[in-house]
Copies of this chain bind each other. A is one copy, B any other.
Amino acid sequence: MEKKNQTMEQSASINLSTPIRCIVKLGGAAITCKNELETIHDENLKEVSLQLRESMNVQSPSGKILGMDWSKGAGESEISCSINDFSAVPAMDSSSFIVVHGAGSFGHFQASKSGVHKGGLNKPLVKAGFVATRISVTKLNHEIVRALAREGIPSVGVSPFSCGWSTNMRNIASADLSAMTNAIDSGFVPVTHGDAVLDDELGCTILSGDVIIRHLAAHFKPEFVVFMTDVLGVYDRPPLDSTAVLLREIEVHEDGSWSVVKPTLENISKVKTDVAAHDTTGGMETKILEAAMIARLGIDVYIVKAGTNHSLRALRGELRGNVPEDWLGTVIRFSK
């Protein structure tokens, strides 16, 4: 409890020169091929990166994209980067974003096989699983940072474990945000992720991207939060069910309960969702709960399908007033 208070005190001193416009969660299901181990959904990731660039106003006066991933391509001996393109460019300011991503088909296998989320670092299998999980999720983080950098987004990878974030019985116990704050103030876009972390009680556990989002939202107070997923939004039952109904607007009440405002169907009382067997950090229900907790802070949350026109409009902040009829997704708001 004392630790928790410390964290809250630290947060009080966060003073960004530019407020955060948006915290965006790239759901694991949206950017990886969920049923193919450690495989990125390149097409989706490319599209998501394009949309992020567009909504962050990252652009050079010539309209040219100034790529920042100067890595050697596979089979190449030279690095291609057009350094001359930068010479005539004035200093650029992009809107402040933070990107958080899930693990999808990275990390979950390693975590669930070893039981990292249950703790017990004195067991060799758990310790090995911790190492293996971190290798897998940081690999994904690296690829996402590269994809964003290729679009000219000044992205920097920031791993919770490396930052010294830790939990106590799976709740965030310590999460110093000064590194992230300084990165943002210097014009970078931090890219963080669900990670294996140390836990004061359990030894270790998995800190999910959704819990991180809530923590970041509470401390950075962004204008809005966007969850990118692989379906249009939140449904009243598994989306593959042909009778599933998209919940367009959810209202969160002072006491933390929530109700569906739109559509006005009587039979939507309990939302049924499925949780994939290898998903160690919970499924859609966890997401709604996390989103509801963010909304209670007075921050609008949009749950959208990645790479669609709907996600682009959400990222641009077009939904901040009334939600247009032709927009498909789920808005979760605090009821005043």
Copies of this protein in the assembly total: 2
B-side contacts of A179, CB under 8 Å: 161-164
Inter-subunit contact B146/A91 (CB<8 Å): no
Q: Tally A residues with Cβ within 8 Å of B.
A: 68
Stretch at the interface among A68-76, A225-233, A267-275, A301-309: A68-76
B-side contacts of A205, CB under 8 Å: none
Contact (A135, B146) CB under 8 Å given A38-B72, A38-B79, A162-B157: yes
B-side contacts of A37, CB under 8 Å: 72, 77-79
Contact (A83, B114) CB under 8 Å given A77-B37, A139-B142: yes
B-side contacts of A186, CB under 8 Å: 121, 198, 203-204
Indicate if A159 sits at the interface (CB-CB under 8 A): yes
Smallest Cβ distance from A33 to chain B, in angstroms?
11
Contact (A157, B138) CB under 8 Å given A68-B131, A125-B83, A163-B179: yes
- Taken together as a complex, chains A and B put the C-alpha atoms of A243 and B66 apart, in Å, by 49
Which chain B residue has the least Cβ–Cβ distance from A180? B164
Inter-subunit contact A182/B154 (CB<8 Å): no
Which chain B residue has the least Cβ–Cβ distance from A158? B162
Indicate if A51 sits at the interface (CB-CB under 8 A): no
Smallest Cβ distance from A240 to chain B, in angstroms?
24
Indicate if A110 sits at the interface (CB-CB under 8 A): yes
Indicate if A187 sits at the interface (CB-CB under 8 A): yes
Smallest Cβ distance from A3 to chain B, in angstroms?
12
Considering only residues 178-220 of chain A, those with a C-beta below 8 Å from chain B are: 178-179, 182-183, 186-188, 198, 203-204
- Taken together as a complex, chains A and B put the C-alpha atoms of A7 and B186 apart, in Å, by 22
Indicate if A176 sits at the interface (CB-CB under 8 A): yes
Considering only residues 112-142 of chain A, those with a C-beta below 8 Å from chain B are: 113-114, 121-125, 127-132, 134-136, 138-139, 142
Q: Which of B68, B156, B204 contacts A161 (CB 8 A)?
A: B156
List chain A positions with a Cβ less than 8 A from chain B. 36-38, 60, 66-72, 77-79, 81, 83, 86-87, 89-92, 109-110, 113-114, 121-125, 127-132, 134-136, 138-139, 142, 145-146, 149, 154-159, 161-164, 166, 176, 178-179, 182-183, 186-188, 198, 203-204
